[in-house]
Amino acid sequence: MSVECELKLGASTAVILDPRTTLGAHRTTVDCLYIAGGSMFLMAIFLLYKLVRQNLLSDTLFLLFFILSALGWILMGLAGDFLVAGENWATKVAKVLITLSWAFLLLNCCCVLEGDLLQKGARNVMWVSTIFVVGLSLAASAAKLGEDLQGIMFFATMLSWSCTMGWAVAHHFVKVEDQEYCMKAFFSFVAGAGTLTAAILEPLCGYAGHSNCYEECFGTPGVHVLIWLVPTLGSYMGLCFCHHCCPDKAVMPPIFCGRTTLDPTPPPDPPKPPEPEPPEPVPCVV
């Protein structure tokens, strides 16, 4: 049975259907999820062309980030269109995909620091912390945590700000005038700020807000997802542009891969030894 909710918007009154019994009740939320997923697919196609040309490890990790993010948010939108609100198989799979996408971007940041930037002890702490954060995020994303989108938004914030820390550390250790690491740290921080805002407002303007007719929400239901969409698209486009101009010099640790360099260019040939001089002619003695 659908429970209607009358919401006053200025001089007019809008009737909001219960999202837990009605498909697609929050049209703003579903549309924003589709826009986010479609935009990330376009960025993935843009990076795929670059990957074919250069074949760098960072290209692969960035491409996985955008593809998995796109699949996750589009699947979340499809769940809002064809399934009622609440935990279901589609939302659980979508949350795992979104968490994995940020995990690959965090892996890229760790591989940036894997080179000569960190000492051995700091490297061990970095990898242990990364495995713990990613494992905790995956386990919590698969379980029911928070109200609908709240849990995944909180953990996306944690992972994106972990990337911010990784790029900031790389910028500190690389004593150059280029600002690519600093810019990537800024964009990942903005992305985390957007997801944190959506997580805080989810119980007020999300599906759970229907129980009290969105009394504490400052706008229409789903407006928090619209607020999340703006910094998300801006930061993701910034990351895509920065990576296209200045790809990360990432190095996989030897425990995962025997390669220790990301440069696809083969090393130069060793110098050839000088050719021996011809022997001097022996004078003929008569």
What tens digit of pLDDT does each residue of 42-63 get? 999 888 876 656 667 888 899 9
What was the pLDDT predicted at 161? 93
- List Cβ neighbours of 231 (8 Å cut-off, separation of 6 or more): 190, 191, 193, 194
* 85, 16 contact by CB (below 8 A): no
Q: For residue 95, what is the domain's CATH number?
A: 1.20.1070.10
User: Total domain count for the chain?
Assistant: 1
Helix (H, G, I), strand (E, B) or coil at 5: strand
234 belongs to a structural domain: yes
Distance of CA 87 to the CA centre of its chain: 23
115 belongs to a structural domain: yes
What tens digit of pLDDT does each residue of 11-25 get? 667 777 777 777 777
113 belongs to a structural domain: yes
Q: What is the Cα–Cα distance from 36 to 175, expressed in whole angstroms? A: 36
Its domain, for residue 229, covers 25-245
Q: How many residues does the chain have?
A: 286
Backbone angles phi, psi at 279, to 5 degrees: -65, 145
279 belongs to a structural domain: no
Average pLDDT over residues 104-127: 75
219 belongs to a structural domain: yes
What tens digit of pLDDT does each residue of 142-162 get? 666 656 788 888 889 999 999
Residue 33 sits at the vertex; the CA angle it makes with 30 and 38, to the nearest 5 degrees, is 125
65 belongs to a structural domain: yes
17 belongs to a structural domain: no
58 belongs to a structural domain: yes
